[in-house]
Structures are given as C-alpha cells and as structure tokens.
Amino acid sequence: MATESDNVNTMVLGTIVAVGTLVTVSVVFGVTALVRNEEQAAVITKGTTANLRPYRDLKAKQEAVLNADAAWVDRTRGVVSVPIGRAMELVVSDVRRDPTMATPWHGPEPTGADAGQAPEPGPTEAQAASSSPSQAPPAQQSSSPEPPSAPTSPD
C-alpha cells in the first residue's frame, strides 16, 4: 500500500488564518461603530440636554438656607438657626467634651400609666430645650435678625 506524505501547505493555512483574523477585526469595528451611532441617535432623540435651571435654582436655594447667617427661629423658646458648618463644629466640640452625647439615650423603661406616653427627651434634646438666648452665639446677640421667611414658589 502506498502512503501519502503529511505535507501541510502552510502558505494556504497562513492565508486562511490571516483572512479570518481580518474579517473578525473588521466585524468587531463595524459593530462598535454601529452601536456608538445608535447611542448618539438615542441621546439626541431622548433629549438628554434637559433644562437644568430648576435643579440649579433648587440647589442654590437649599445651600442658601444651609449657609444662611445665624437667626432666631423662636426667640421665646430659645431656638436659633445657625449655618450648617457651624452646627457641625458645635456638635463635634460637644462630642469631644462628652463622648456619651454621641450615643442614643434610653431612659428608664415606662411602667404603668407612663407606658403609653412618649419617652423623656435625651440629654442633647434636654440641653437644647433648656438653652436660653443668652447662650446663643455672639452673632445673634449683637443683632436682632428677623426669623427666616417661608419659601416662596417660583412663578
């Protein structure tokens, strides 16, 4: 019996591999281009260039309230509004002075007639309720600002 030689035509095999690789790369680039084109069309169709003015106005209004100058909210109860940055500084200094202020306060368990009533305020609430206008920051004592006005709706 005659046997055939196992000669592999490497030139043909290399050409097939090269052409296959080029076709695969071309298909990948083509699909990528089509997807990007469709995404851009969807962005234009959906109108993602929305009017952000109401968002910016709302954010500016909220930041103005958070950073407003100190003012009396209720002078009879001694409630003062302070800028958020200053309020955070006060809380941190209180916690540094007494670390137990950072933990929730749980009073004695209610018994009998007290069971249906709300629990007593914790130390921080009691401290805030007992504060008088004389304990307010110096900015509030030197001037008599009006309480903040109610927000108005934009026309």
User: Residue 128: is its pLDDT beyond 60?
Assistant: no
pLDDT digits (tens, 9 = 90+) for 25-73: 999 999 999 999 998 888 777 765 667 889 899 999 999 999 999 999 8
Spatial separation of the C-alpha atoms in residues 120 and 126, rounded to whole Å: 9
Mean pLDDT over the full length of the chain: 76
Spatial separation of the C-alpha atoms in residues 38 and 44, rounded to whole Å: 10
Domain regions of the chain by residue span: 15-46, 54-102
